[in-house]
Amino acid sequence: MKGIVFTEFLDMVENEFSYEVADKIIEENSLASNGAYTSVGNYDNAEMIMLITSLSKHVNTPAEQLAAHYGKYLLNRFFILFPHFFTSVSTTFDFLDTIDRHVHVEVKKLYSDAELPSFETKRISERKMQMFYRSGNPFACLAGGLIEGACEKFNEKITIKKDISADHMSATFTLTKED
């Protein structure tokens, strides 16, 4: 998993919890990286799972909820770091349609060692769309949070039904636009 996902995660922990908690979750796991992440480096996915699991223990919040919360945070960071992906579209559905066929394709050009999930989208109607997540990694809750973050960014009231597989490596998200 790319270092940017780790560096942003630790920044969130420092900002929203504390520097001490960030330090603790690094210290109590025997991480091959020692927690010294650089945004362009590549690290074992298992380290992200260890960090979230430790955070969950310290802040007494389920890991799945923290992963989703991080997804929302990360979407806001992507908006700042990669604004051009957001300027060519004006709705959540149009943005989500671009992830698999454009955004992650560009990410792969930028970081050739990135391991990206596949995201098929299906328009059911003008107000309803489905997104199918499939990955070699168990990050479906993170994906759900990224989707929620996108709905907020485009300022649309959208209900998201999340059907996540037990191994968290696949999910179906059904989005319904309210008004």
The answer to whether 142 contacts ligand HEM (rule: CB under 6 A) is yes
Please report, for residues 33, 78, 148, the alpha-carbon distance to residue 15 in angstroms, rounded to integers and kept in the order given.
Answer: 22, 17, 20
The answer to whether 25 contacts ligand HEM (rule: CB under 6 A) is no
Cβ burial 34-55 (10 Å sphere, 16+ → b, else e): ebebeeebebebebbbbbbebb
The answer to whether 48 and 6 have CB atoms below 8 angstroms apart is yes
**Nearest-CA neighbor of 154 among 108, 77, 81, 96?**
96
The answer to whether 17 contacts ligand HEM (rule: CB under 6 A) is no
Q: Give 52 or 150: the residue with its C-beta nearer to ligand HEM.
A: 150
- Binding residues among 59-78 for ligand HEM as defined by CB under 6 A: 78
Q: Give 24 or 172: the residue with its C-beta nearer to ligand HEM.
A: 172
Query: Where do contacts with ligand HEM occur on this chain (CB under 6 A)?
Result: 1-2, 4-5, 78, 82, 85, 96, 99, 103-104, 107, 114-117, 119, 135, 137, 139, 142-143, 146-147, 150
